[in-house]
Amino acid sequence: MAIPSPVLADELPPERRVRLDADTIIDAVLELARDEPQSRFTFKSLGEALGANPTAMYRHFRNRDAILQAALDRLFTMALEEATTAQAPKEWRPRLECYLNAVVDVFIKYPSIGCDSFATDTFGQGELHAIEFVLLCLKDAGLSGERIVHYYGALESFTLGHGSGLAQEVLAKPNSNGHEPWLEAIAVASVTGFPLIQEHRQRLLDLDGISVFQAGLGAILDSVERDGTR
C-alpha cells in the first residue's frame, strides 16, 4: 500500500492556512487603515492581508458594516485605555480631556475607520464603556439628571463630528495629521471691507483642525464647570 505524501502548508488553500477569528480580522482592518490611509478596506484587501479567502470573513461578520462597527468599537476601547491607565489624570476634567483627545487621535491614526464614526453606532462593549466613562466624569463634575445627558450629547456630537471630519481630511491629505489650516482660503482672499477679519487675519490663519477642536472642547468643559458648581 502506498503511503500518502504529507500535505505541505504551502499546498493548502489560503483559507486553511490561517485560523481566523473576529479579533484577528479587526487587527488586520486597523493595520490596513493605519498603513494605507487613503484606502478603505474591502473583503478582498482583508483576504490578501490575512492570506485567506475573502469569503472566510463571512463566518465571523455578516457584512462590511459589521466589520466597520467592530473596528470602530475597538478604537473607542483604545481611546478609553489612554484615559484609564495608572498614570491617567484623576480629576474629572483632565480625565475627560484625555479621553476625548485620544478619540480624535485614534480617528486620525485610523482615518478610514474614524471617518464613519459620526454616523455609526457600534452596539459594542467598547462604546458602552466609553459612554459610561463620559457620564461618570460629568457626574464627578457635579452634574445630575438631564444636565448630564445634555452635556454628554454636546461632547459626543462635537467630538465625533470633528473627529470624523479630521479623519476625512487625512484620507484626502495623508500627511495633514489634523494640522491642515482651518481657513486657508483667506490667505489669498481680499478681506477689504471685513475689519475684524483684517484685525485677526494672522490668528485665523494659525488655526488648524486640532486647535479648533481644543477651542471647542475647552468651551464646552468651561460650561460644564460653571454648571457643576451651581
Give residue for cell 490578501: 48
Distance CA 76, CA 72 (A): 7
In the DSSP assignment, the letter for residue 2 is P
> 168 and 92 in one domain?
yes
pLDDT, tens digit, 9 for 90 and up, residues 30-78: 999 988 877 788 888 898 889 888 888 989 999 999 999 999 999 999 9
Does residue 219 fall inside a structural domain? yes
C-alpha distances in Å from residue 186, one per residue of 25, 34, 47, 74, 196: 44, 32, 45, 39, 13
Q: Give phi and psi for 166, each to the nearest 5.
A: -65, -35
> 92 and 205 in one domain?
yes
Does residue 47 fall inside a structural domain? yes
Residues in contact with 97: Cβ distance below 8 Å, sequence separation at least 6, in sequence order = 89, 217, 221
Domain count, the chain: 2
> 188 and 139 in one domain?
yes
> 26 and 108 in one domain?
no
* Range 138-170 burial, b when 16+ CB lie within 10 A, else e: beebebeeebbeebbebbbebbbebbbbbbbbb
> 104 and 39 in one domain?
no
> 114 and 33 in one domain?
no
Q: Residue 66: count other Cβ atoms within 10 Å of its Cβ.
A: 16
Q: Which domain holds residue 43?
A: 17-61
Q: Give phi and psi for 4, each to the nearest 5.
A: -65, 140
The pTM of the full predicted model, rounded to 2 decimals, is 0.87
Distance CA 142, CA 229 (A): 6
Q: What pLDDT is recorded for position 108?
A: 95
Does residue 4 fall inside a structural domain? no
**3-class secondary structure, 113:** helix
The tens place of each residue's pLDDT in the chain, 230 residues long, gives 343 333 333 443 544 455 789 999 999 999 999 888 777 888 888 988 898 888 889 899 999 999 999 999 999 999 999 999 989 999 999 999 999 999 999 999 999 999 999 999 999 999 999 999 999 999 999 999 999 999 999 999 999 999 999 999 998 888 888 899 999 888 888 999 999 999 999 999 999 999 999 999 999 999 999 999 77
72 exposure class (CB count in 10 Å sphere: 0-12, 13-18, 19+): buried
Q: Which three cell numbers stand for residue 13?
A: 488553500
In this prediction, what percent of the chain has a pLDDT beyond 70?
92
